[in-house]
Structures are given as C-alpha cells and as structure tokens.
Structure 1
Amino acid sequence: MNGDWLLRGRDGRLSVHLPSGDAVLCRAERGPGGSWGAPRRMGGDQPLHPGFAVGQGSDGYAHLVGWRPTGQGESGLVHSTHYRPHLAALDWKPIGHPGRKGDVTGSPAVAVDAQGRAHVFVRNRGRGVSMTAQKAKGGWEPWRDLKGRLVEDGLAAVTGESGRVEVYAAVPGGIVHWRQEAAGKPPVLLEALETPVRPGTLRALATSPESTTLYYTDESGDLCAWRPGDRPHTLLPSAGPGPVAAVRCALDGHDCTLLAQRSASGRVAFAAYPTEDERAGAWWTESGPQLPADATVALTTDEDGRVTAASLSPATGQLLLTRRKDEPGLALRAWQEV
C-alpha cells in the first residue's frame, strides 16, 4: 500500500483500505467514532495485481489506483473514486500504461490537487517517472514522461497546502523532487538532493503553506526530514524498516507533527515534535501489543481532531485502532481490534 490507507471521510467516518488477494477491501465506521462494518470489495470484480495506492483530496474523496492484468505479460493501471466511506466505490476504470503497453513497471502513487483531480505517478520501464492526471471535464490526460534516471520504486506523492502536487523519488545516492509551478500544469523537476537514502522509505507531508516535508531513512539507519531549498535534518534513529506514517495535529495547543512506525521490537513507536522545528528533537515511545512482521501503521485525526492510529497486518487481516485520550500529552487509549 502506498499512501495514507487510514482516512477520515467528509462525513467524519474513518475508513481503511486494505489488500486481500487480488482485491482491495474497505472497512468503515458505521458512524463517526462508532462500530465498524464488515470489509467490502472496492471497484467491482476485476482482479488486481498486489499493491495499490491511495490519495485523498480536500473534498474528502479517496482515489485508488492499482495494476490489473490485461493479457499475457501485460498489465494496465486502473482508477476508482470512493466518495463516502460507507458507500460503494466506483468501478475500476482503465487509465492506461506509461509505455502504452507492457507489464507492471512500479508501484503507483496518487495525489489530489485543490480542484479534486487525481494525479497518478509511476516509475516507467526506462526507470524515470511518468504521470497522468484527470482532466477538468472528465477523462484523463495523456501519459507524460517527467524524466528522471535510475529511479527506485516507492514514489512519495503529496499535495501542498497551496493545492499544488509534488512527487519525490529515491535514486542511487539521492532524492529527486518534482513540483507543479501552477495549478493544472505538469510537475517539473526542481531539485535533486545528494543523500544516502534507503529506497522504499519515503513519506511526504504538507507542513506549511510554502513547504512539504519528506521523511526518509538514510543508509546509517537515521530518520531524516528534508524540505526542498533547505538541507536535510537528522531527527532520530529509525524505529524500524519502511516508511513512517506522519500527520500534523494539535497537541496541547501546539502545531505538531506526529510520526509512527512499527519498531524493531514489533510494537508501534510514536515520536512528536513541533512542525518544521526538527532542532527541537524527538524520541520514540512504544505502545500497544507486538504486531506481525508485515504490519504497517497509519495515522489520521478523527472528527473531533483527536489523533487516531491504526495498525494492519495484510497477511492476517488484523486491524487494531487507538485514539488519543482527552488529557494532556500523547496518552493513548488501549488498542482495540476492529
């Protein structure tokens, strides 16, 4: 899964999108803060390849993208929109292949601009980055090659507070950054950072009206934060493998960024610090039970603005959830299986 698979819909309900064999399933609250419904298959009966991406617009709509087999040794990308957590999503619709035809080239990433248009990014067979975007009046733009060289799988797409879309990619010895210079325009390559990044650890978050922050793990195992135009900052040692989950939230009246990751011990580790003030420091605090090795962690805020965390094991389907207590600090309720 690429993107924030734990979402809050415009009606306040929380939902999760999870893989299950050749399908994507959704589970949602029956009402904000209430019990959870049973898993439902997204997008109809078309079989999908493993791996999908999720992006959400400011309108609360979720956009899902995955690969489906189209023939012997060939695949194509498909898209579905999920307007309400408790309703069925639209059927999967084909959006093509970055090379017109061929097999899977990489995991997709999705970001949604201020006008509600999904932008889909994927590594192409030349190991650059290709993209397509929804048109204002329906349909999709032609695939566009954004260039790039020796791009690793695991792109991180994000929409800034300005509503413009950005995408980050790891390359050998560095990170490459593309950003829209104006709404409706294709992102352009703006900056490349030399840094010993571990592929598959990128996660991006909008952190101010001017900036997005990219979190990544370097080759020494440290978790780093980078805002284009600045130097990267080392936050703290990574708690475990893979990308962190990240969310901006209010903690005791302060604008903070909360990070979460499955730790090496198997529990969920949390770290918080003032948004864009990495020099303030951060440290991990573990919570909850030990999780399966394949478990991933996600963060959001609920209808009342409370931090909410979830862990999901795709192999077992186990979904655990916790919310912040109504007291100072980052005290969490007991983790509950839903």
Structure 2
Amino acid sequence: MLGQGARATSDAAHEARRPWGIWLTRGKDGRLTAYVPDGGGLRRWTEKRPGGPAWGESDVVPAPELTHLSVAQNADAYVHFAGRRERPAAEGGVTVDIVHAIQYQTGRPLSAWQSVGNPHKEADVGARFGAPTVVVSPSGEVTIAVRNGRGGMMVRRERADGRWRRWEDLRCRRIEQVPAVVALSTGYVEILAATDKETLHWAQDKPGGGWGDVQRSKRVVAPGSLAVLETSPGRATYYWTDPAAGVVAYRTDGEPIDLGGAPSDDTHAAVRAELDGLDCTVLAHRGSSGTAFVGVAVTEDEANGVWWSDTGAPCLTAPALIHDAHDRVVMAVVGQDGAPRVARQTDGPGLSFDEWRAL
C-alpha cells in the first residue's frame, strides 16, 4: 500500500509522462486557433478567415519549462494560459511553480508569463505540486485549481484589480489527478476532484465568494479522465471514465449515467450543439484503439442513449472540440506523427465531419 507521500510522487510521475494535448480557441474576430506543445513552447496555427477552411502557417509561442497547460477564455475572448513550470534546483531536484499568461487578440503575442507561485515551502513537497486547471468567471475573475504536493486541493484567484489573492486550502487529502473546474454562466465556480475511492465536489456559496462544504460521493474515476460542461444555466455535467462502465455523466443531484464508449486513459472533450433542432451534447475521446471517437446525446437526457462513432483518426491524446464562426463543430487531434489535424461538421442531418485536414 502506498503512503500519502509515495502516492503523490507516483501521481506526479504519471502526469509528467502524459502528452499535453491540443487546444482550440475562437477569437473575437471569429477565427479559430490551435495550439500544440512544441519543444520550449506552443506551436500555434490560426485560420486565415473566420470559418476556414484554410489555416495560416504556424508560429511558436514561447512557453519555457512547462510540463502541463490549461487554457480558458473570458467573455472578451481573451485566452488565459495556466501552466506548471518545472526548473532544476541549485541543490538538486526541481522547483515547481504555476505561471499565467494572456493572449488578448487572435494571433498576437502573449503577455509575459507571470508566476503565481507554489504554496509549499518544503522543496520535496513543492516538487510534487500538480497540474493547474484555469477558468474565467463572467465577472472576469480568474480561478486556478491545483492538486497540492500532499494530495489536497489548492485554489488561487485573481482580484478585480489584477492582483492575486493568497492560495486557498480546501483541506482534503488523497486527490490523485487534475480536477475538473467550471465557471458557470450564473457566476459560480465548481470543482470536482477524485481520490482512489471517491469524488469531492465544491461550489461557491455566491459568485466570487467562499467555498461551501465538500460533498463526497463513492465513485470510481480513472486517473486523468475528468471533464465538465455547463449543460443548462448554472448546472454542470461531469464526465469521466469508470474502469468498469466506460464513460459516465454525472450531475451532483443524481446518480452517474453510463454512456458506454471505449475510452483510453485520457480525458474527454465536450461541447453543446444544436442537431436536428435538438440541444445535444457532443463528446469526444481517444478510444482504446488509439483513434478518436465521437458521441452524441440529447443534452441532460443521456439515459436515452448515446450514439458513438469511431472517426478512424489516430491520435496521441484527447481530441478538442469547439464551434467555428458558422457554428459548426470542429474537432482537432494530434496525429501519431505529432502533427495536428482538424475535421469540420458538414451540412445535413445528425453530426458528420468532412475529411481530416492537416495543419
């Protein structure tokens, strides 16, 4: 049986071996941007015009010494990046901190990376500080949640004047993975994290306020599989992989709903879309076969069935989903050669995609 410190070390090593992934954003001008890790930074591709299909040549956004990244956008389409930075320590080992940067316009340089620190003073514990998840509330408040070096949950928030509050300790133990965090349209932020035996859920007591009591549920969550989507105003649906049941959907006032699928050990992408006049949820993951799978269900009615389809596109990590300027669903993957590819929703009934386009 692993002790708490050994478990945290094992989890940090597991996270460090995982591919970063791929991210899609849509700027205020309607153009999509794709980001993929590349050496000491992020390689970035941007659509030549809103709705594509052509993409411009890539450029590199400096992001030195990052091991993980989280990406979110605010109401003005500013892109917020939160990364885990790991640097060699003079006395041996590594020093870890969380850094934050903003891209204000499509294709423009990022702001300077600003360190928001690491709450641990002990070097060995600080080196186990986890990967961040960043969200931005409708008010513009930035929230970063991180599993700490002892398996707890830490949160840091940016104040209205742009300065950062102190780290908040949500006082829990045995968290084993990156949390799912959502900034709801009603102004509340929610966090769902998982241990090896249960899930832990926190919700703000008011927009921008403190955190209520933790809600615990006996659920089994495969490491690295948590995701979340707002599926109605102020209501979040969480998705993860149950090792025995495949993908599940969970709302905190109900029981997990089995969705099937054949996911690998990555997270899930989720986006809502109107299909055939119905409010639907589109899900995507890397299947156990190593190819990208996509699923469709009527939003918050998953119990009546999910339609899954293997796209046949090999991918190294979880796909990304977004809407383009014409409200079509766009899916992006990182191919086995490390290069990104995108497919775009076609006209017609249901959900189908055109041919994969290499960027």
Do both share a fold (TM > 0.5)?
Answer: yes
Contiguous gaps of at least 5 residues in structure 2: 1-18
Residue by residue over 1:121-160, the C-alpha shift from the partner in whole angstroms, topping out at 9 and shown as x without a partner, is 1011121100111110111111111112100122111112
Aligned residues: 333
Distance in 1, matches of 2:213 and 2:20, equals 21
Q: Verify the 8 A CA contact 1:48 1:66 in the aligned structure 2.
A: no
Distance in 1, matches of 2:27 and 2:214, equals 33
Deviation, 1:274, is 0.7
**Counterpart residue type for residue 15 of structure 1:** T
Residue by residue over 1:166-204, the C-alpha shift from the partner in whole angstroms, topping out at 9 and shown as x without a partner, is 111111211111112212213334411111221211001
Indicate yes or no: 2:325 matched with 1:303.
yes
Deviation, 1:288, is 4.0
* 1:1-338 correspondence runs (5 A): 5-34=23-52, 35-42=54-61, 44=62, 47-69=64-86, 72=89, 73-100=94-121, 102-289=126-313, 291-292=314-315, 294-313=316-335, 316-338=337-359
Distance in 1, matches of 2:351 and 2:321, equals 13
Q: RMSD over aligned Cα, in angstroms?
A: 2.0
Distance in 2, matches of 1:3 and 1:316, equals 13
Aligned residue for 1:182, secondary structure, equals coil
CA distance change for structure 1 residues 262 and 114 in 2, over 3 Å: closer, same or farther? same
Q: Verify the 8 A CA contact 1:2 1:108 in the aligned structure 2.
A: no
TM-score (norm 1): 0.92
**Counterpart residue type for residue 281 of structure 1:** G
Distance in 1, matches of 2:86 and 2:263, equals 36
Distance in 2, matches of 1:28 and 1:260, equals 22
Deviation, 1:68, is 2.3
CA distance change for structure 1 residues 65 and 114 in 2, over 3 Å: closer, same or farther? same
Distance in 2, matches of 1:186 and 1:317, equals 42
Distance in 2, matches of 1:56 and 1:4, equals 15
Distance in 1, matches of 2:269 and 2:81, equals 18
CA distance change for structure 1 residues 121 and 10 in 2, over 3 Å: closer, same or farther? same
Q: Verify the 8 A CA contact 1:8 1:60 in the aligned structure 2.
A: yes
Q: Verify the 8 A CA contact 1:203 1:215 in the aligned structure 2.
A: yes
Deviation, 1:103, is 2.1
Q: Verify the 8 A CA contact 2:266 2:317 in the aligned structure 1.
A: no
Aligned residue for 2:307, secondary structure, equals coil
Residue by residue over 1:73-98, the C-alpha shift from the partner in whole angstroms, topping out at 9 and shown as x without a partner, is 21211100112221111110111113
CA distance change for structure 1 residues 275 and 162 in 2, over 3 Å: closer, same or farther? same
Aligned residue for 1:279, secondary structure, equals helix
Residue by residue over 1:233-279, the C-alpha shift from the partner in whole angstroms, topping out at 9 and shown as x without a partner, is 11114333311111011111110000111222332211101101122
Distance in 2, matches of 1:216 and 1:76, equals 27
Q: Verify the 8 A CA contact 1:51 1:66 in the aligned structure 2.
A: yes
More helix by share: 2
Percent of aligned positions that are identical: 34
Deviation, 1:206, is 0.6
Distance in 2, matches of 1:302 and 1:329, equals 17
Q: Verify the 8 A CA contact 1:74 1:104 in the aligned structure 2.
A: no
TM-score (norm 2): 0.87
Contiguous gaps of at least 5 residues in structure 1: none
Say which is worse superposed, 279-288 or 117-126, in terms of deviation: 279-288
CA distance change for structure 1 residues 3 and 257 in 2, over 3 Å: closer, same or farther? farther
Q: Verify the 8 A CA contact 1:76 1:104 in the aligned structure 2.
A: no
